[in-house]
Amino acid sequence: MTHSLMLRPHEFSQDVGVVHVDGGQSLRAMLVQACSGGEVADSELLVRVGGHEVPAAYWHRLRPKAGTAIHVTRRGLHGGSARQLVAIVAMVALTFFAPQVGLYFGSQLLGVGVMMLGSLAIAALTKPPSPAGDNATTARWNALTGTSNQINPGGVIPFVIGESRFFPPHAAYPYSEAVGESSYQYCLFDLGHGDIEVADIRIGDNPISQYQEVQYEITRTPTLYTNDVAEVVVGASMADGDAVTRTTAPGITRVALDLVAPAGLYGVSTKGGKFDMRVRWRFQYRLAGSTGAWITPASPRLSYLTPMGDGRFEVRMEKAEAFACGIAWDVPAGQYEVMVSRVETPKGSSKNTYITDFTWSTLRSIKPGLPSTTGTNKLAMRIKATDQLNGTLQSLSLVVRQKVRVYDRASDTWAAPAVNLNPAWVGYWLLTACPALSKHVPGTRIHLDTFADYAEFCTINSFEARGVVDAATTAAELIEDLLSCSLGSLGRRDGKYSIVFDSGETLPSMTFTPLEIDSFTMSRPFVRLPQALRVQFKNPAADYQDDEIIVLDDGYSYRGVDARGNPSALPEPTEFETMQLRFAQDAIHAWRVGRFHLAQGKFRSESYGFTSDVAGLGTTRGDVIDVAHDLVEWGAGWGRVVSIGAASGRPTLVLDQMVATQAGKRYSAQLRRQDGSAVIASIVGSGGEADTFWLEALPAGILPGDGCVIGEAESVTEKLLVTGVRYTDGGQVTEFSAVRYDARVAPFWADPPTGIISEITGTTYAEVPVPVVLGVLSDSTVDDPDDAGIVAPVVRIGMGRYSEVHRELRAV
């Protein structure tokens, strides 16, 4: 049984948060549980149970009944230490992270609080990828292209982000063609949008080169599959005198059909000798729905059939294996009824044995024109199906690499499109040029320097964009999903699209004091930090199957090693959260992303909000700022410079406000110049309340009217990282949200372990794999002559790549 505490941060708040606590305990115990075991500030909380106020003296006695409404309101901030008061403020208006994500807590459930990834999705600068995407159609990861070639008429056209192996959907219905003893299958696959390279085509686990009689082309204007073909399986067994009728698709200009002899066509005499047999057929057609005369095809194309001159056709064969014969003919555009009649099978003595079974297997309706008009890349294929395929081809996969333009900041030039997996340039391509998106952003509206900075960040951390888009989404969701998989986010700077990421920059862009701040707030969510993350991704090193690694928090071990891969006897984690990276396909990449979000949850749990006037217009999301405020006791005081210079032979600073300092402590003054830059000057002496201070040295560039913050030397102000900016009142008021900048975040996700174990395959990634030797060839026919014509002996060894076996011989 649980109770719900309804939380309000102040008396006038319309935002109500809910925290679930265990039932059956006292009201005070519930409040302590809601504070994650922290101290409850009795004087600052107004608690009503069933609409009646309960004094703090009775909290330990009252045990609320099930279903009773409990409202907890925080009174105004008066009295006591503001730092203590805000430490217990609940985070209200929290949206729980998508509940469909798999959570692993052993036999335990979280009894209180919210999940870390859900909290980060609201307050963090760089948010984790949303579980299973924001669209319900992506609830199943790569459902369209992950395991087989699907027929999805009118559905989403998938395309590759960066590089990935996938199973392309059929762009048109496949059909077969019988040619004598063999059957051939025609397929048209949709490879999606973009300027692409294709490699390593497979059917199942076998390279396409191992199949016989295969023709294929990769183009936007296929020639192997040029008509719209609708194939119907008839499957009618026919004896002499039988007539079977079927109707074609509408608007066709050609009819084709196949007859199959499943056991062959031959006779066996009483002496055991074989002889040929003949079966005679009649093929006729007329407009669908008409009662007119049946028409015999004129000038048909025949396979194993011979015209007899009277409207009949004969197949004559002595063959004990299955084979097919067929006929095709042209018709005026329309829809037709087609009738196949088995006329007769001439036979001799009744003592002989006759193998003459036939089945009308398929009817194909063919009309001119491209079967697909999407303008996307296609793989058209004609492949011999006999003895090679089992039914419709559904297991073809290939690696597709997307070509994008890359900017060189040093030369201020763009390179021609080439394969590049850097998330910055893949994101730029999505914004400006991706043909899968209906609208694009002109280059003049892109803040190019932030893209170049992010590209360098991704290169340093080995982040690459890899994945397949195969579900309906929006451009914003797609780009955010791509960037979030590599610790980035789309933002705005100077009115242009930019990329926001935690660059590690520590130089503040602005200092905010109560002179510029209104409505300062702080909140801390009741977050139960996971002990580890299960990070899921598709792994090329495991043949692109779904993979998962465990990313540990410090203080835990798994499989006998700690978070850095060092031998450890620390306890194993029991509380997990799960994160999916849809556009990352590397174990080290996944580890870095997981550790970064663990660091955000540990070290950036508090959220801050404040408003400012036009002084905040130069600050944007992702900036580091210095903040001083009495609510959280950042800075001893502040004011504006009245005068600064030498007085009585000593550097002297005079402010327009009185500032209280304590004797025996070292203080500094942080002064903000008119250009926004800051300078720190040490103060000589302290104690008492004053507006005049002696400095160790006069800072340069400070003028009357400049802002000043005075605080203890080690912490004059607090560094915050701006996570959100919103403009109101025509830009006159700027609303900021921020988290504490914490230097512990950067080293927390640096230096990944040398080996990471897959939870799916048990493979340790980042190790040098043992090569797979496919074969050795030592023969004079493979020796290579040098430039002088002298032949040197060469031994060629065929080795498979660790991730994907590549059957080619290489000289060693």
Reported confidence tier of residue 103, pLDDT bands at 50, 70, 90: very low
Reported confidence tier of residue 731, pLDDT bands at 50, 70, 90: low
- The pLDDT tens digits of the residues spanning 58-101 come to 888 888 887 677 888 876 543 333 333 333 333 332 333 333 33
Q: For residues 402 and 75, which has the higher predicted lDDT (pLDDT)?
A: 402
The number of beta carbons lying within 10 Å of the beta carbon of residue 58 is: 13
Q: What letter does residue 314 receive in the DSSP assignment?
A: E
In sequence order, the β-bridge partners of residue 392 are: none
**Given a cut of 70, is residue 320 above it in pLDDT?**
yes
- The pLDDT tens digits of the residues spanning 501-515 come to 998 877 788 888 888
Domains of the chain and CATH, by start:
2-74 (3.10.20.30), 118-135+421-501+525-605 (no CATH), 159-226+372-399 (2.60.40), 229-368 (2.60.120), 629-719 (2.40.30)
Q: Which region among 3-12, 276-285, 296-305, 421-430 has the lowest average model confidence (pLDDT)?
A: 3-12
Q: Tell how many helices (H) and how many strands (E) occur in the chain.
A: 8, 56
Q: Which region among 8-17, 353-362, 386-395, 421-430 has the lowest average model confidence (pLDDT)?
A: 8-17
Mean pLDDT of 370-377: 87
Share of residues in the chain with pLDDT > 70 (%)? 86
- The pLDDT tens digits of the residues spanning 638-658 come to 889 999 998 878 899 999 989
**Given a cut of 60, is residue 460 above it in pLDDT?**
yes
Q: Which region among 91-100, 399-408, 694-703, 752-761 has the lowest average model confidence (pLDDT)?
A: 91-100
Mean pLDDT of 133-150: 60
Distances (CA, A) of 737 to 288, 422, 432, 722: 70, 29, 29, 6
- Give the pLDDT confidence score for residue 121 in this predicted structure: 64
User: What is the distance between the alpha carbons of residues 623 and 628, in angstroms, rounded to a whole number?
Assistant: 16
Reported confidence tier of residue 11, pLDDT bands at 50, 70, 90: low
For helices 475-484 and 423-432, angle between their N-to-C axes, nearest 10 degrees: 170
User: What is the distance between the alpha carbons of residues 632 and 641, in angstroms, rounded to a whole number?
Assistant: 24
Mean pLDDT of 127-143: 58
DSSP assignments along 581-605, one per residue: -TT---HHHHHHHHHHHHHHHHH--
- Give the pLDDT confidence score for residue 782 in this predicted structure: 67
Are 71 and 34 spatial neighbours (Cβ–Cβ below 8 Å)? no
In sequence order, the β-bridge partners of residue 375 are: none
- Give the pLDDT confidence score for residue 316 in this predicted structure: 95
User: What is the distance between the alpha carbons of residues 639 and 671, in angstroms, rounded to a whole number?
Assistant: 10
Reported confidence tier of residue 115, pLDDT bands at 50, 70, 90: low
Are 21 and 2 spatial neighbours (Cβ–Cβ below 8 Å)? yes
Share of residues in the chain with pLDDT > 90 (%)? 45
Reported confidence tier of residue 517, pLDDT bands at 50, 70, 90: confident
Mean pLDDT of 349-375: 90
In sequence order, the β-bridge partners of residue 722 are: 738
Are 452 and 409 spatial neighbours (Cβ–Cβ below 8 Å)? yes
Are 47 and 69 spatial neighbours (Cβ–Cβ below 8 Å)? no
- Give the pLDDT confidence score for residue 355 in this predicted structure: 95
Question: Six-digit token pair at 113?
Answer: 């609080």
- Give the pLDDT confidence score for residue 16 in this predicted structure: 53
Most confident of 25-34, 461-470, 698-707: 461-470
User: What is the distance between the alpha carbons of residues 374 and 191, in angstroms, rounded to a whole number?
Assistant: 11
- The pLDDT tens digits of the residues spanning 207-256 come to 999 999 999 999 998 988 877 888 899 999 999 999 999 999 999 999 99
Mean pLDDT of 585-604: 93
Mean pLDDT, the chain, as a whole number? Answer: 84
Reported confidence tier of residue 484, pLDDT bands at 50, 70, 90: very high
User: What is the distance between the alpha carbons of residues 396 and 378, in angstroms, rounded to a whole number?
Assistant: 13
- Give the pLDDT confidence score for residue 354 in this predicted structure: 95
- Give the pLDDT confidence score for residue 790 in this predicted structure: 67
User: What is the distance between the alpha carbons of residues 200 and 8, in angstroms, rounded to a whole number?
Assistant: 59
Q: Which region among 186-200, 456-470, 689-703 has the lowest average model confidence (pLDDT)?
A: 689-703
Mean pLDDT of 273-288: 95
Q: For residues 12 and 664, which has the higher predicted lDDT (pLDDT)?
A: 664
pTM of the predicted protein model = 0.71
Distances (CA, A) of 462 to 74, 593, 702, 761, 765: 47, 11, 44, 23, 15
For helices 587-603 and 116-123, angle between their N-to-C axes, nearest 10 degrees: 80
Mean pLDDT of 568-594: 93
Helix (H, G, I), strand (E, B) or coil at 568: coil
Cα maximum dimension of the chain: 138
- The pLDDT tens digits of the residues spanning 607-636 come to 899 998 877 888 889 999 888 887 787 888
- Give the pLDDT confidence score for residue 767 in this predicted structure: 46
Distances (CA, A) of 706 to 142, 625, 672, 679, 783: 57, 17, 6, 11, 81
Q: How many CA atoms lie within 13 A of 17 on its CB side?
A: 23
- Give the pLDDT confidence score for residue 181 in this predicted structure: 72
